[in-house]
Structure 1
Amino acid sequence: MREKIVPPLVPHAVARNTTDFVVEQAEKPSNPPLFARRDASGAWQDVRAKDFRADVERIAKGLMASGIGQGDRVGVMARTCYEWVLVDFAIWFAGAVSVPIYETSSPSQIAWNLGNSGAIAAFGETASHEDMIRIAVDSEGLAVNDVWQMTPAGLDQLRAAGARISDEELEERRSAATLDSLATIIYTSGTLGRPKGCELTHGNFVGLSENTVAAVREVFTPGAKTIMFLPLAHVFARFISVLAVAAGVQVGHTPDIKNLLPDLQSFQPTFILAVPRVFEKVYNSALTRAENEGRGKIFAAAADTAIAWSAAHDDGGKPGLGLRLRHAAFDALVYRKLRAAMGGHIRYAVSGGGPLGKRLGHFFHGIGLLVLEGYGLTETTAPISVNTPHRVKIGTVGAPLPGNAVRIADDGEILTKGVCVMRGYYELPELQAETFTDGWFHTGDIGELDPDGFLTITGRKKEIIVTAGGKNVAPAQLEDQIRADALVSQVVVVGEGRPFIAALVTLDEEALPGWLERHGQPALSIAEAGDNVLVREHVQAVIDRANGSVSKAEAIRAFRVVPTDFTEESGHLTPSLKVKRAKVMSDFGDVVEQIYSAPKPTAV
């Protein structure tokens, strides 16, 4: 199949914008809880729709009183927290446009987002955020007039300032935006070059939210709950945040993923959303803990059974009696404990931001958590396609959502159009012409559509490696399999213009101590472990397994374990945990040269 077009389930109503979701929820007789916040004792307390709307309106009036006009840009820099969403909707109620800033951003990155977008004001979560914003503003001479902290005192300042703005003035401002109006400028996380501002409209959020709710009712149902831990500056979390309000789903927030398990247990969500690396870490942590406790063989058998049980359901099949009995036994021994560790009520997970891989997808389905893998970009307001509970093919990223379309170009590139696609790149008309053809947006990804319209991602067009022998290699297929190993943290496949394919590998700092102890090795640092014979043999075995899925010309024939991990803090990962290949190649180019200056390895 070369093209799949799915008509919308919910038609557009032009006189509408994202703020209508808040108004509609607040006007329901049930006054549903839209959010939950921790009180001083750490207990979760409901924030109901009427109270949320009232506070949004107070802050929006404060913004108006402070000079924020229709269409003005306002920056938001904060960790993932309730106040992020409160301020976001207040900006929209005031008729303005929000500009997210990752809370890990440097002053130069902050200055770019605020300066390029033309922001005249900004929010920072804390005093340190405010200081960084002011440093950025002063260093570049930006026309940012106000910087507010998202603390109780900072927001109270706005609430008080808005007392003189009437309800009629606010309603006129709130209702002025249409589906065509700009809602936000989200800057791409920048794996290549300087971030580009993606113009997402109210229509993108409204149309995509309403059609997603209609298509995935089993997940986004009244009474459903989720806990948000991904950065709200990223389009994936931002879209789900709006979608949750549209669906009446309750959201709790946790800013630190290190507290995720206790937060899951206390909040007890019915679904979660995460990037593939989070699912890899959950699996690898469970495996490592089992091995450290001497239960590695039991866990391995349980994992194999879960994967086999899930795979048996492919194409409408079902597992045989023996497999069902083993699955039931491991459910009592292993799977139930894993579900309890995640709160005990999770039925679904939504995965985006990169390929998950079949093995992990089948594992989580087999333990009772169906991972609905989807695909999208900042430019597409997140999801273009997604698996749904009633239409799922593990290993794919699903079929296009209602209102979206996918086309596979002659060179394999994925093109898309529909309610998800942005208005354009902010002040980059030349890039607009490059990335759109007859209304179809060029995603830059390579993929395939199966006969049922399910999409599979096979690589990134700009990341395709062409060896000296002219062989095209998609690194993702190898990297995803290698990175799934508990001892491996990151891997970057290299070989552009070179005689063979190689790889840079980093080790997982949390998994390493237990692995060394189980293998009778002394405690070693990450740098020291890279030279350890057993560690290298293990990494080689992992690579050998991955090589079995590709041709000899595509196989990794040499690797190096680099002495440090690739992290967001080191500048080698984006906030959504994608590898910045250009940065890795710049910082570890000498290691790559060592690989290719060494004696040529024998063919695999």
Structure 2
Amino acid sequence: MKPNNLLEMLYRTVQKFPQKDALVWKESGKYQSITYQAFWGRVYHFASGLMWLGIKENDKIAILSNSNPMWGITDFATASMKAVSVPVYPTLPPEQVAYILKNADVRAVVVENEEQRQKVLAGNTNVEYVITMYPGETFYPSEIDVSFSQLEAVGKEYRISDWEAKWRDIDRDQLSTIIHTSGTTGKPNGVMLSHGNFLSNMEAVQFWLIELLSDDIALSYLPLSHVFERMAGYYMPLSVGATIAYAESIDTIKENLKEIRPTVMTSVPRLFEKVYATVRDEIDNGLPIKRRIFNWAVEVGVERYDRYLNTPINKLVLGDGMPKDLRRKWRIADRLVYQKVKKELGGRIRGLVSGGGTLNPDVAKFFWAIDLPIYEGYGLTETSPVITTNPVVRAKVGTVGKVMPNLDVRIAVDGEILVRGPSVMKGYYNNEEATVATFDGDWLCTGDIGELDEDHYLKIIDRKKRIIVLSTGKNVAPQLIENAINESSYVEQSVLIGDHRKYIICLLNPNFEKLLWWAERNGVKSESLEEICQHPSVRDLFKIEIERQTEPFAKFEKPKKVAIIGEEWTVESGELTPKLSTRVKVIENKYKQLIEMIYADEESSDSQEQTEIPVKHG
């Protein structure tokens, strides 16, 4: 029998695995853990504390914090009272935080520390309570302020007598959360998702994807304010009794992988692309014999993957389909190459899940080749989030998989992907106009262009609003080209420009750490990043990199000119969304003069070849 709500889902796990570790995290340099039984008890106490504050049904409680046990305690405690959680990315600046708090009518905010507390206090909001997880030395309780531990202690004494009856009364239609979109094209909208939205999506994903086991250890590094991580990397592991281990930060992933040794992991494509670029860079700069062995091993892995893709499913299930000669070569390649790469990722990973963006097919095939299966999916905040995913029995690189069994998908005349089903949002909070504009009858308009292949696997082409139409009439889908450029270990982010122009140009943000390393080794000395980016040797470096990465694309799709931006794009400075996607409109506006200057070069615009890469500071 299916659970009626998220609390019942968690309670079933608590009953089955009370003494098993639910969460693991590092604090003061040492790993700490909490069992399912203890986690459930803290959810009860915090819910009681919220009720003592006067929080009631349908009140909105924001969570402004990096992932940690108190994030989840707040989430489940809020849901247990039929209140509504409003996750906020901790990287957002104060003005964006204030916008979300006002837009969602937030009554109380749970913040991680003093830095996040100040963001709330800086905004002109109607927040009544600020609950701080890790208060500083100068913190003291007041009419508005209370520490997380103090409220939990109050709840432990206060205790809601009918708490179980309250959460058991919650049905699937009850609003669970309001998650704001990243706002790549404008002000973010608050997506309303119910308990049933999440539960139906989890049930569908488990039909296709890796079967999560209670013995699994999932490494979590994406923020829980990201809907993909919240569903696939949090709710799903908790639903089966797996253990979730939190990475300390994105910068410590390499070390945390070796310490935690996870068996499964969810990530956005950028991490996989960085791992791929690092491995390829090390091999390309290594000894020739090492390079030959590595490339041979990858070829063997690709041959195995191609056979896997073309072998009948009944033979795959029986473990058949690999000839003896290939099996022998694969075992040698595994010992010489695959195991060494796997060891860098902890040595126990049996499956990786990629979402939140389109993964470069070359990167995906590389991971499959070295026996690290990546299952790519596709979805939106508005769909809780998964719409399609590659099934564990037959994953097809270059696609985002098959449609969830409880969803319907169709492709509109203009190529837009439309979806309907039980995981589709209730609408945008306090924005009926935007809600109506997003639906065509009962079909949600995703804003993405895609196509279904002969086997009904979905391929994403690009965002509908991002298709570049050149003045020559040719259409360019920039995302695939940008992904290819970003695959270079010297590139952090790239944005293609060219709508209604004769040709494509690229604004490029380097991987400054790698660029500085290269500059030192090649005698490029300067006191500023701007000067380094303007150096002729650096121009030549990026010219070669861009030409190499875009070689497979048509001539009109390749950037004719590239501007290397000598300042880092960040969430704080506005060029990136919290999930590290580029805000194209922001970047276009910020570098408008630079873009116009590049296109004003008539001599270059008449040339059919890329001859020089102008390098400009933003």
- What TM-score comes out, normalization by structure 2 length? 0.89
Q: Which aligned pairs between 1:340-355 and structure 2 lie closer than 5 A? A: 340-355=343-358
Q: Which aligned pairs between 1:524-563 and structure 2 lie closer than 5 A? A: 526-563=529-566
Change in Cα spacing, 1:327 to 1:540, as seen in structure 2 (3 Å) is farther
1:332 counterpart letter in structure 2: R
Superimposed CA distance per residue, residues 147-201 of structure 1 (whole angstroms, 9 cap, x where no aligned partner): 1111399222112322464554322332332111110000011111111100011
Matches of 1:563 and 1:319, distance apart in 2: 50
Matches of 1:541 and 1:383, distance apart in 2: 38
Q: Which moved more, 1:419-428 or 1:526-535?
A: 526-535
Report the counterpart of residue 6 of structure 1 in structure 2.
Answer: none
> Partner of 1:556: helix, strand, or coil?
coil
Matches of 2:304 and 2:91, distance apart in 1: 39
The answer (yes or no) to whether the contact 2:18–2:35 under 8 Å persists in 1 is no
Q: Which moved more, 1:306-315 or 1:340-349?
A: 306-315
Report the counterpart of residue 223 of structure 1 in structure 2.
Answer: 215
Change in Cα spacing, 1:80 to 1:306, as seen in structure 2 (3 Å) is farther
Matches of 1:398 and 1:161, distance apart in 2: 48
> Partner of 1:99: helix, strand, or coil?
strand
1:285 counterpart letter in structure 2: T
Report the counterpart of residue 8 of structure 1 in structure 2.
Answer: none
Superimposed CA distance per residue, residues 444-478 of structure 1 (whole angstroms, 9 cap, x where no aligned partner): 01111112211110111011111222222111121
Change in Cα spacing, 1:294 to 1:423, as seen in structure 2 (3 Å) is same
1:64 counterpart letter in structure 2: M
Residue 52 (structure 1) shift: 1.0
Residue 115 of structure 2, aligned match among 107, 111, 128: 128
Matches of 1:160 and 1:260, distance apart in 2: 34
> Partner of 2:235: helix, strand, or coil?
helix
Matches of 1:304 and 1:514, distance apart in 2: 28
Change in Cα spacing, 1:91 to 1:547, as seen in structure 2 (3 Å) is same
The answer (yes or no) to whether the contact 2:208–2:390 under 8 Å persists in 1 is no
Superimposed CA distance per residue, residues 517-543 of structure 1 (whole angstroms, 9 cap, x where no aligned partner): 66x443455433433444333433343
Residue 404 (structure 1) shift: 1.7
Report the counterpart of residue 9 of structure 2 in structure 1.
Answer: 21
Q: Which moved more, 1:561-570 or 1:152-161?
A: 152-161
Report the counterpart of residue 312 of structure 1 in structure 2.
Answer: 306
Residue 86 of structure 1, aligned match among 46, 51, 73: 73
The answer (yes or no) to whether the contact 1:210–1:246 under 8 Å persists in 2 is no
Residue 234 (structure 1) shift: 1.1
Report the counterpart of residue 419 of structure 2 in structure 1.
Answer: 416
Report the counterpart of residue 189 of structure 1 in structure 2.
Answer: 182
Report the counterpart of residue 254 of structure 1 in structure 2.
Answer: 247
1:48 matched to 2:50? The reply is no
Report the counterpart of residue 273 of structure 2 in structure 1.
Answer: 280
The answer (yes or no) to whether the contact 1:309–1:327 under 8 Å persists in 2 is no
1:72 matched to 2:59? The reply is yes
The answer (yes or no) to whether the contact 1:310–1:365 under 8 Å persists in 2 is no
The answer (yes or no) to whether the contact 1:529–1:535 under 8 Å persists in 2 is yes
Q: Which aligned pairs between 1:443-462 and structure 2 lie closer than 5 A? A: 443-462=446-465
Change in Cα spacing, 1:432 to 1:120, as seen in structure 2 (3 Å) is same
Change in Cα spacing, 1:420 to 1:132, as seen in structure 2 (3 Å) is same
Q: Which aligned pairs between 1:351-430 and structure 2 lie closer than 5 A? A: 351-430=354-433
Change in Cα spacing, 1:329 to 1:521, as seen in structure 2 (3 Å) is farther
> Partner of 1:231: helix, strand, or coil?
coil
The answer (yes or no) to whether the contact 1:303–1:363 under 8 Å persists in 2 is no
Query: Higher relative contact order by CA 8 Å / sep ≥ 6: 1 or 2?
Result: 1
Matches of 1:372 and 1:154, distance apart in 2: 41
Q: Which moved more, 1:320-329 or 1:548-557?
A: 320-329
Superimposed CA distance per residue, residues 17-62 of structure 1 (whole angstroms, 9 cap, x where no aligned partner): 11111211111266443222336561353x2221111110010011
Residue 135 (structure 1) shift: 1.9
Residue 522 of structure 1, aligned match among 518, 524, 539: 524
Q: Which moved more, 1:164-173 or 1:442-451?
A: 164-173
Structure 2: segments with no counterpart, 5+ residues: 136-145, 312-320, 610-618
Change in Cα spacing, 1:404 to 1:523, as seen in structure 2 (3 Å) is farther
* Displacement over 6 Å in runs of 4+: 318-323
> Partner of 1:510: helix, strand, or coil?
helix
Residue 388 (structure 1) shift: 2.3
1:49 counterpart letter in structure 2: Y
Matches of 2:553 and 2:251, distance apart in 1: 36
2:302 counterpart letter in structure 1: A
Residue 272 (structure 1) shift: 0.8
Structure 1: segments with no counterpart, 5+ residues: 1-10
Report the counterpart of residue 162 of structure 2 in structure 1.
Answer: 169
The answer (yes or no) to whether the contact 1:559–1:595 under 8 Å persists in 2 is no
Report the counterpart of residue 603 of structure 1 in structure 2.
Answer: 608
1:271 matched to 2:274? The reply is no
Change in Cα spacing, 1:521 to 1:305, as seen in structure 2 (3 Å) is farther
Change in Cα spacing, 1:315 to 1:369, as seen in structure 2 (3 Å) is closer
Q: Superposition RMSD on alpha carbons, in Å?
A: 2.5
Residue 506 (structure 1) shift: 2.0
Residue 71 (structure 1) shift: 0.9
The answer (yes or no) to whether the contact 1:421–1:441 under 8 Å persists in 2 is yes
Residue 440 (structure 1) shift: 0.8
How many residues end up aligned between the 2 structures? 585
Superimposed CA distance per residue, residues 60-112 of structure 1 (whole angstroms, 9 cap, x where no aligned partner): 01101110001100010001222211211111122210001111122211111
Superimposed CA distance per residue, residues 371-429 of structure 1 (whole angstroms, 9 cap, x where no aligned partner): 11111111111211111221210111110122122111111111111122111111111
- What TM-score comes out, normalization by structure 1 length? 0.91
Residue 143 (structure 1) shift: 2.3
Q: Which moved more, 1:476-485 or 1:505-514?
A: 505-514
Report the counterpart of residue 147 of structure 1 in structure 2.
Answer: 130
Report the counterpart of residue 142 of structure 2 in structure 1.
Answer: none
Matches of 1:320 and 1:494, distance apart in 2: 48
2:132 counterpart letter in structure 1: Q
